[in-house]
Structure 1
Amino acid sequence: MTTQTAAEADECPVVGTLEDVLAALGDPVRLEMVRRMWGAGGPKPCGQLYAGVSKSTASHHFKVLREAGIVRTARINGKVHQELRKAELEAAFGPVLESVVRAANR
């Protein structure tokens, strides 16, 4: 069993600016991806994070989230997972992400 931590798999040293983060979350597909990761507590398989879009479209959305510093990618047992950078985002912006996710759940 090969397990690689998210930090080892995809180094994202910096969370993007607040503008980058909010722009990335402005798309309903990406916001839903983040909402699904919110309570996960760790990496989650990519396939569990989206519905209604093609795999290539989902890959594009994951790339936008990664470039904004919202998620990091991990390969666990040969499968790609995404992990929300919750602690880093909260350190950078306080409860902004939580507020956005809670508003999306309404």
Structure 2
Amino acid sequence: MPQEWKGAILCYYVAAPDYESALLRATDDLKFDGYKYENVHDGKVSQLDPADWWEKYVIEKWSEYSDHFPSQEDIQVLVATGGIHKGPALGWENEAANT
């Protein structure tokens, strides 16, 4: 994480049999990369349908940044091979305000 960042939300897309396995793989990857894992943003782990990846997820949620996501074909390969994709990192430089 850049030193000027005070915190970040990192999005992971993990092929796994269940959300617990996906979460463990993502947190292991975060720690391996030197990040400090604190919690799941909003306490939610979402399950996406890989068949709807491009049209119903990337284009609807991240169209402005679609070049940074795996294609529909690439996500099918990721699922078939049990892969992982590190998605967007949303960082901030200010300390959180206690309001």
User: TM-score if structure 2 supplies the norm length?
Assistant: 0.26
TM-score calculated relative to the size of structure 1: 0.25
Looking at CA atoms only, which structure, 1 or 2, has the larger radius of gyration? 2
Answer 1 or 2: which has greater helix percent: 1
